[in-house]
């Protein structure tokens, strides 16, 4: 679904706005409604690619939450802090690397790597819509 499509303009958007304004002001229900509507909108346009976007979003949220908790404890230095940051960065960047750069390796003539990637049809993977935006 595109923003300029009749389905969005005359069906999806009015329903989202009507429900949003029917909910009590200053309530969390409004935010939850907009989150649900955003997920439906993205799923409508991207389908199963929503799994990658959800993984990046949830990883980022919990990573930020853990960082916030640790900042409250005022832990200083140490390799544990660096390891947690490295694990978070790998978890958040993994879907971007997986969908954006791994399929390009399938086009190279590297016997071991290209054989594995051709067996899983890596060259025909589609890049999830907005993965770079959500990742960064």
Q: What is the pLDDT along the chain (136 residues), one digit of tens a residue?
A: 778 889 999 999 999 999 999 999 988 999 999 999 998 998 888 787 788 788 888 887 887 787 777 767 665 556 667 777 787 888 778 888 887 777 777 666 666 666 666 665 655 566 677 777 777 7
Query: Phi-psi category of 74—alpha, beta or left, where left has phi over 0 and alpha has psi -120 to 50?
Result: left
Q: Which pTM value belongs to this model?
A: 0.63
Q: From residue 57, give the alpha-carbon distance in Å to each of 53, 77, 93, 124.
A: 6, 27, 11, 25
Q: Assign 3-class secondary structure to 12-44.
A: HHHHHHHHHHHCCCCCHHHHHHHHHHHHHHHHH
């Amino acid at each position: 679904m595109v923003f300029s499509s009749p389905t969005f303009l005359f069906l999806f958007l009015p329903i989202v706005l009507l429900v949003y304004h029917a909910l009590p002001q200053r309530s969390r229900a409004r935010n939850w409604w907009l989150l649900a509507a955003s997920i439906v909108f993205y799923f409508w346009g991207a389908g199963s690619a929503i799994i990658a976007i959800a993984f990046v979003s949830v990883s980022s949220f919990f990573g930020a939450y853990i960082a916030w908790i640790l900042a409250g404890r005022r832990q200083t230095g140490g390799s544990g802090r660096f390891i947690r940051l490295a694990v978070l960065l790998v978890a958040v960047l993994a879907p971007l690397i997986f969908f954006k750069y791994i399929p390009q390796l399938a086009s190279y003539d590297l016997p071991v790597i290209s054989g594995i990637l051709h067996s899983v049809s890596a060259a025909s993977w589609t890049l999830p819509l907005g993965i770079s935006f959500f990742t960064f």
